[in-house]
Amino acid sequence: MNKDLISPKFFGQFSLEWLLLSAIALGVLLRIINLGSREFWYDEVLSLLISTGKNSAYNSPKDTPVVLAEYTSLLSISVETGIRDFILTISSLLKSLLGGEPHPPLFFLSQHLWLLLFGNSEAAMRSLNTFLSIAAMGSAYGLGRVFLGHRGGLFLAALLGINPFYLFHSLNVRMYAPLVLWATLSAWALLHLIYQKDTQIPQNHRSQIVWNVLLIGSVAAGILTFYLYAYWLITLAVLVLYLDRNHWWQHGLRLGAGVLLTIPWVLWGTLKQLRNADLKRFSAVKEVSSAWLQHLQDVAQTLGINLLVGDWVSSLAPMSVAIAGCLVILLLLASSISLWKCGEKTNLTVALILGLLPLSLALGVDIVAQKFTVGFGWGRTMIIILPGCLLLLVLWVERGVPSQWRTSIVASLLFLYLTISIGDFSLRHRSVFHRVADLILQDTNQPTLIAMNSKAWGHVMRLAYYIPPQANVMLLADKPANLATSLEKVLKDEAEKYPRVLWLDSSDPLWSRLKTEAEINRENQRIQQILSNKFQLKNTQDVSGTMSLDKFTLKLYTRS
C-alpha cells in the first residue's frame, strides 16, 4: 500500500476537502428549504408587480375604498396569451421601467419568463435567483481554482455559498443574486484568458471562443442587471493593466464588446431613466453630523454587512453594524500584511483589486458628487465586492496561514457563517400579512373594510398578494394625517356595508410619516374614537417581521 495514502498530510487534505464539499452542499440545501419560509418583503412584491408588466396599471389608493382584488389581479399573468399579447406585455414592462425605476431590464425580463413558466408563488419567484446563486457558487469555484487551484476553488465556493448576506439575496426577488454571478463569471473568464498565456498548454479554437463568449456575455448581462456594475467593469480593466498590459487591446476589445451589446438599451432606456431618477434619496446625511464621518461609516457598515452580519443588519443598531465592519477591516488588513510578508504581492494585489477597488471607486464618486450610495440599501449596492473580499480570505488561508492551523481556521470561518445564516432564517420569521389574511378568513362571507395608514405600494400590494381575491375586502389606504378624516367620511355614509373593520396601523408608513409622537397619538385617538362610535373592538395583535416595514398593529372591530 502507498504510504502517502495514509500519511497525516494526505488525511488532512482529504478531510479539509470533504469539509468544504459539505459546506457547499449545505449552502445549496439552505436555499432549497427556505424558498418559501418567509413572506415577500416590500421590494420583492414590487419586483413581482414590475415583472408582470402591469406596473403602469397600478393606481395609488384614494380617500375612498377600493376593491382589494383589483390590485391582486396585477400580480399574476395569464399563460394563455398569444404572441401579440406577450409582445405587448414585454413592451409595457420595458416602458414601466422608464418612469422612475432605477434599474436595467434584464432581471425583470427573466423574472417575467420565469413567472410564465412557474407562477407567482413565493417559492416559484425565488427559485430563479436560487438557481443563479448556485451557478455563482460554481463560478466562484472556477475563479478560486484558476487563482489558487482546486482546494482554493472549493473554499471560495463554500464561503460564497454560506455567506449570510449572499444567502439572503439568493432568496430575495431582487437583482443582487444574479449580479454576483455576472461579477464572478466575468472575473473567472478574464483571469483564465490572462493566465492561459503563461502556460505551455495549447488552447484550441473552440475553447477560446467559449471563454470569450463567457466574458463578453457576463459583462453585458452585468450592465443590464445593475448600473453600478460599471464599477466592476473599471475593476476588470485595472486588472488587465496590472496583469497583462502587453495585451491590453485584446482584453479591451472583449470588455468593449460586452458594453457594445448594451448600447441599444443605454440609448433608449438609460437616458430616460436618468431624467426621471430620484437622486435626492442619496443626498441625506443621517445619524452623524459630518459628511466625512458618514462616508467612513458607510464603508465600515458595507464591509460588515457583506462579510459578517448579513441580513441581521435590519435588526441591529447602526453602531453595532459599524463595529462589525471595523472587525472585518482589521481581519482584511491583518490578512494583507501576512500575505505581503509571505511574498504573495502579486496575488494579494489581484485580490485587493477585485475586493476593494469597486468600493473605493464608489466612495470616490460619492465624495465628489456629495452623495451617499455606498451605504444605501443596507450594503446591497456594493455586493459586487463580495467575491473579491472572500477571495482575499481564501488566499490568506491558503498561502499565509501555517498548514497545521489551516483546517481549524477553515472550520471556524465556515461554522461562523453557518451559525449566522441558519440563525437568520430559523429565528427571524416574516408572516405579517399571513396573520392579516387569517383574521379576514375567520369569516369570509362578511364584507370587511381594511383601513391602513399607508399609501405605500409595497404595503398595498402585499395585502393584495396574501389576502385571497375571493374574500370580500375593501381597502381604504391613506396617509397617516388623512386616514381619520377619510374613515369618518366613509363610515358616515356607508357604515352599514361593513360588518367588520380591520385597522392596520403601520409603524413605518414610509413616504408619509408623521413628524412627532404627539401627532401619531392624536391621529390614532381620532381613529379609535371614530370606530368606537359604531363598532366594538374584538381583536388586537402586534405583528412584526425582519424589518421596520413589517411592523403593524392589527385591530379588528365588529359592528356593535
> What are the structural domains, with CATH classification, of the chain?
7-52+120-277+289-427 (no CATH), 432-559 (3.40.47)
**DSSP string covering 65-103:** -EETHHHHGGG---TT--HHHHHHHHHHHHHHHTTS--S
List 542's β-bridge partners, or say none.
553
pLDDT, one tens digit per residue, over 345-389 is: 999 999 999 999 999 999 999 999 888 889 888 989 999 999 999
Three-state DSSP at 380 gives: helix
pLDDT of residue 548: 87
Task: Average the pLDDT over 401-412 and give the result.
Answer: 92
Of residues 286 and 109, the one with the higher pLDDT is: 109
Residue found by looking up cell 472583449 in the block: 254
Query: 7-46 pLDDT, tens per residue?
Result: 445 445 568 899 999 999 999 999 999 999 999 999 999 9
> How far is 429 from 431, CA to CA, in rounded Å?
6
Q: Are 302 and 373 in contact (CB under 8 A)?
A: no
Q: Report the relative pairing of strands 448-452 and 66-67 from DSSP bridges.
A: unpaired
- Residue positions counted in the chain: 560
Q: Please give the C-alpha separations between residue 382 and each of 141, 169, 236, in angstroms, as whole numbers.
A: 21, 13, 16
Q: For all residues of the chain together, what is the average pLDDT?
A: 90
Quote the pLDDT of residue 274.
78
Unique residue bearing C-alpha cell 392624536 = 522
Lowest mean per-residue pLDDT among 87-91, 186-190, 231-235, 278-282 = 278-282
Looking at residue 268, its pLDDT comes to 87
**Residue 97: band (very low, low, confident or very high) from pLDDT cuts 50, 70, 90:** confident
**Residue 432 pLDDT exceeds 70:** yes
Q: Contact 457/482 with Cβ under 8 angstroms?
A: no
User: Residue 87: pLDDT above 90?
Assistant: no
How large a percentage of the chain has pLDDT more than 70?
93
Report yes or no: 452 and 479 within 8 Å, Cβ to Cβ: no
Which pLDDT score, from 0 to 100, does residue 217 have? Answer: 97
pLDDT in tens, 479-523: 999 999 999 999 887 778 889 999 999 998 887 888 888 889 999
- Could you count the other beta carbons within 10 Å of the beta carbon of residue 230? 16
Cα–Cα distance for residue pair 316/248, rounded to 1 Å: 45
| CA 31/CA 43 separation, integer angstroms | 19
The pLDDT tens digits for 436-490 are 999 998 887 889 999 999 999 899 999 999 999 888 899 999 999 999 999 999 9
Name the grid cell of 303: 464591509
Q: b vs e for 399-413, b when ≥16 Cβ sit within 10 Å of the residue's Cβ?
A: bbbeeeebbeebeeb
Q: Per-residue pLDDT for 283 more than 80?
A: no
Q: Is there a contact between 512 and 454 (Cβ–Cβ < 8 Å)? A: yes
Q: What pLDDT is stored for residue 202 in this prediction?
A: 61
Q: Is 129 within 8 Å of 178 (Cβ atoms)?
A: yes
- C-alpha to C-alpha distance for 45 and 52, rounded to whole angstroms: 11
pLDDT for 247-266, tens place per residue?
899 999 999 999 999 999 99
